[in-house]
Amino acid sequence: MTYLLALDQGTSSSRSIVFDRAGRIVAMAQREFRQIYPQPGWVEHDPRELWATQLATAREALAEAKLSARAIAAIGITNQRETTLVWERASGAPIHHAIVWQDRRAEPTCAALRAAGHEPLVRRKTGLIIDAYFSGTKLKWILDHVEGSRERARRGELAFGTVDSWLLWQLTKGRVHATDVSNAARTMLLDVHTNQWDDELLALLDIPRELLPDVKPSACEFGVADAEWLGAPLVVGGIAGDQQSALFGQACFTPGLAKNTYGTGCFMLMHTGTSFFSSSNGLVTTSAAQREGHAPEFALEGSVFIGGAVVQWLRDGLRAIKGSAEVEALAQSVPDAGGVVFVPAFTGLGAPYWQADATGAIVGLTRGTTVGHIARAALESIAFQSAALLQAMSRDAVAAGGHAVAELRVDGGASVNDLLMQFQADLLGIPVVRPRCVETTALGAAWLAGLAAGVHAGTEELAAQWQVERRFTPTMSRDEAAARMDRWARAVRQTLAR
């Protein structure tokens, strides 16, 4: 029993990956599911589709690997964070669609909380700022808008969870209602210093404690998946939110190591060890994945709301390409972006700007602009936003007595795009390092489960498994990179001025 099964429930698809003890991929399966847009700024998923696609891919991955469930030592779960679900404990039926992390409907609540002066309290206890991105205000919206739900919650009839809790509930047939600290830390309801739900924060949002899952370390025995699902009872031994899982899967176990995941959004985290400190540059502090018996560990995080999703927009909105894989060739059809700068603020701007009402803009258009220029500017926008994050992160690290980030480890779907990765290194002025296994989000969950199951002895063994596939070194002059970043900053100012 040396194989590990990672369930990777993402924003646009569910995937399952079987890893061997050495961290190599044995088999993988993936299924997309519907994106539901009830009105502008709202994004939802059907919880039943999340479970159905995740279970189907787990079965497919085991079949492709030609393994029975008895060969699996443990299951690890990693998930889109902040996405909020409420369901009936008795029936397991959701009372509303899942409200996705990208959804902005709770912004009026957030604005009222900020105006009332509650941000310092939230920041001190959670490390977060008050923003509709996080789960707490989404949960409040559901309780405010689904008739009778708050009263039912107080009677203990309902359960709240992020996607990890929903999958764990389904896997264990309702026997376990739990989450891990890395997901709980994204709710705006957890005191990250104690890893306990906080009464003052719950009162602020009028959220009954009876709704909430138990909070556990990221690597521990959460429960046992029922034999009906995969053919044998399997221990769920690891859970972590996707970005903390990727930090773990990139072997960023010590302070100063940083990674950036290029997915639907982009998420940059830098490990800060056991040190909790607040950012002065628009970032948030979050709990890193934690092992049982270890002190709480933290990370600085910056979130870009629209990363790879800008390529989806080129495909589905602008219809400039038929498939996402075509974007690199289209972008390389021109030598540069021709002065075009694309600010893809489709759902506001995240860190380090935090402008919830920002909208997207393409500036610098001329009669000579082609769709190739726009495609190149779209790709470059991912790198510009990530560069702004890393600059903020390095300033925070230096101010706290640490060092600027020396290299950036990268993963996620868009990290396979060589043009994007080279441009990223050029803007940053430091190496961008792509590992041999770019499925680090799933790998992190597998490693956490492996630690809990005794497949892995410790993080030293895991760090030795991490291997470099390609290192992108900067080729652009620092003056040119600074000028590019100045143009980006000017475009952001133009966007925010509207």
pLDDT tens, residue order, the chain (498 aa): 689 999 999 988 999 999 999 999 999 999 999 999 999 889 999 999 999 999 999 999 999 999 999 999 999 999 999 999 999 999 999 999 999 998 989 999 999 999 999 999 999 999 998 989 899 999 999 999 999 999 999 999 999 999 999 999 999 999 999 999 999 999 999 999 999 999 999 999 999 999 999 999 999 999 999 999 999 999 999 999 999 999 999 999 988 889 998 888 888 999 988 888 888 888 889 999 998 888 899 999 988 878 878 888 888 888 888 877 788 888 889 998 889 999 988 877 877 887 777 888 899 899 999 989 999 999 899 999 999 888 888 888 888 777 778 889 999 888 888 988 999 999 999 999 999 988 899 999 999 999 999 999 899 999 999 999 999 999 999 999 999 999 999 998 888 876
Retrieve residue 189's tokens. 């309801």
What pLDDT does residue 124 have? 92
How far apart, in whole angstroms, are the C-alpha atoms of residue 33 and residue 333? 32
Q: Specify whether the CB–CB gap between 363 and 341 falls below 8 A.
A: yes
Q: What is the pLDDT of residues 199-224, one digit of tens each?
A: 999 999 999 999 999 999 999 999 99
What pLDDT does residue 498 have? 65
What pLDDT does residue 396 have? 85
User: What single-letter amino acid sits at 106?
Assistant: A
How far apart, in whole angstroms, are the C-alpha atoms of residue 239 and residue 444? 9
How far apart, in whole angstroms, are the C-alpha atoms of residue 140 and residue 203? 11
Retrieve residue 246's tokens. 């990727």
Q: For residue 337, give the nearest of 303, 310, 363 by alpha carbon.
A: 363
What pLDDT does residue 102 have? 86
The pTM score is 0.87
What pLDDT does residue 191 have? 95
How far apart, in whole angstroms, are the C-alpha atoms of residue 75 and residue 287? 22
Three-class SS state of 493: helix
Q: For residue 305, give the nearest of 486, 81, 476 by alpha carbon.
A: 81
Retrieve residue 358's tokens. 């920002």
Q: ∠ at Cα 7 (207, 242), nearest 5°?
A: 55
Q: For residue 251, give the nearest of 474, 120, 435, 117 by alpha carbon.
A: 435
Helical segments of 119-235, H only:
119-126, 135-145, 149-154, 163-171, 181-184, 199-205, 227-230
Q: Specify whether the CB–CB gap between 128 and 286 falls below 8 A.
A: yes
What pLDDT does residue 216 have? 97
Q: For residue 245, give the nearest of 163, 343, 153 by alpha carbon.
A: 163
How far apart, in whole angstroms, are the C-alpha atoms of residue 279 and residue 393? 8
Fold entry, domain 3-243: Nucleotidyltransferase; domain 5 (3.30.420)
What pLDDT does residue 369 have? 93
Q: What is the pLDDT of residues 351-378, one digit of tens each?
A: 788 777 788 889 989 999 998 999 999 9
How far apart, in whole angstroms, are the C-alpha atoms of residue 285 and residue 182? 11
Retrieve residue 302's tokens. 């910056």
CA dist list (Å): 421 to 100, 356, 434: 28, 28, 9
How far apart, in whole angstroms, are the C-alpha atoms of residue 302 and residue 72? 35
CA dist list (Å): 283 to 10, 268, 302, 418: 23, 10, 5, 27
Which residues lie below 8 Å from residue 192, measured CB to CB, with a gap of 6+? 125, 126, 127, 181, 185, 276, 285, 286, 287, 296, 298
CA atoms within 13 A on the CB side of 494: 15
Q: Where are the domains of the chain?
A: 3-243
